[in-house]
Structure 1
């Protein structure tokens, strides 16, 4: 038996080549539109940050330019979801914080995403649904750790 990672018989090859497009489709098709998707990403980046978060930090986390991130952040501020604050580490620096409305919006997005997951997987066996959810959460956690290692100890 061929056990090469490119061998489709062993779960590699063609199956693994479908991961990137599948993740892209998941991201596009399980949100209520691009504005909601981008807003949700920004709110989660701020909420998940281990420390203070800046516009530049959000841009880096999202993989977009600073002006692109700035437009979404400005809309979130206008809508009362984020606020600008002085850094506690360096008062000259401006950081972003979630407002109560921003946290409420994050919970709303999470509820919508859970409901979407439940609808999409409604015909699955309960054990399959649970296992997929566990693997998806694990993948997300491991990708966060992998990204941190790629950036190196200085967070670059």
Structure 2
């Protein structure tokens, strides 16, 4: 019976020591995450915000403004001055693309270049007042929409959900340890005839 059959998947997880309730949750969560990923890739809310607010930039350009700001919830603890290399690293894009996007934002008046206070040979990037207004407006727009949705939930559900979501958001941090733990099971899952060492 193929592993696409739910009972077979359940059996596999149970054999690996994963409880029935957890196995069911894993399969449900995976399905929801796939749906969420497809919708997130479309970035419906961000696009709608830029259109409704009549800002006149695209999502890639907006991402650069956010990366210049470097807020902690999105990029962790951001220290020091922001340079083009910082933007490239935060967004996971090529430095040349980051440089082009930053230049566009400077030309449009949303960002500005300045000389580093720490090293006069270094050029840093900062938001202008206009750029700050754009980031703040889009963020407030998103918070209004999400707040409207969460506002329909009982307070105790919201109080339970937020810390659990924060906890769940770190689940991929344990991938290496989990793959070592289940090395035998993972090896057995490899389709027959697959070449050893060839990445999927």
TM over 0.5: yes
Residue 78 (structure 2) pairs with residue 56 (structure 1): no
Corresponding residue of 1:69 = 98
Alignment of 1:115-130 (within 5 A): 115-121=144-150, 124-129=153-158
Return the index of the structure with the highest Cα Rg: 2
TM-aligned CA deviation for residue 104 of structure 1: 0.8
CA distance in 2, matches of 1:13, 1:83: 47
Question: 1:31 — aligned with what?
Answer: 46
User: 1:120/1:128 Cα in 2 relative to 1: closer, same or farther (>3 Å)?
Assistant: same
Structure 2 partner of 1:113: 142
Aligned counterparts, 1:132-147, within 5 A: 132=161, 138=166
Q: Does 1:82 find its partner at 2:104?
A: no
| Deviation per residue, 1:38-75 (Å, 9 max, x gap) | 23322222222421111121111101111221222122
Out of 50, 65, 70, the residue aligned to residue 43 of structure 1 is 65
Shift of 1:4: 2.0
Equivalent residue number for residue 152 of structure 1: none
TM-score, structure 1 as length reference: 0.68
Relative to the length of structure 2, the TM-score reads 0.55
Shift of 1:8: 3.6
Please, what is the CA RMSD of the aligned residues?
3.5
Distance across 2 between alignment mates of 1:132 and 1:118: 14
Question: For residues 90 and 41 of structure 1, what CA distance do their matches in structure 2 show?
Answer: 26
SS in 2 for 1:113: helix
Q: Is the 8 A contact 1:53 1:96 kept in 2?
A: yes
Q: Which moved more, 1:70-79 or 1:31-40?
A: 31-40
Aligned residues: 142
Residues 105 and 134 (structure 1), Cα distance of their counterparts in 2 relative to 1, 3 Å cut:
farther
Q: Which residue of 1 aligns with 2:188?
A: none
Tell me what 1:150 maps to.
none
Measured in 1, the distance between the counterparts of 2:141 and 2:85 equals: 28
Q: How far does residue 19 in structure 1 lie from its aligned partner after superposition?
A: 2.8
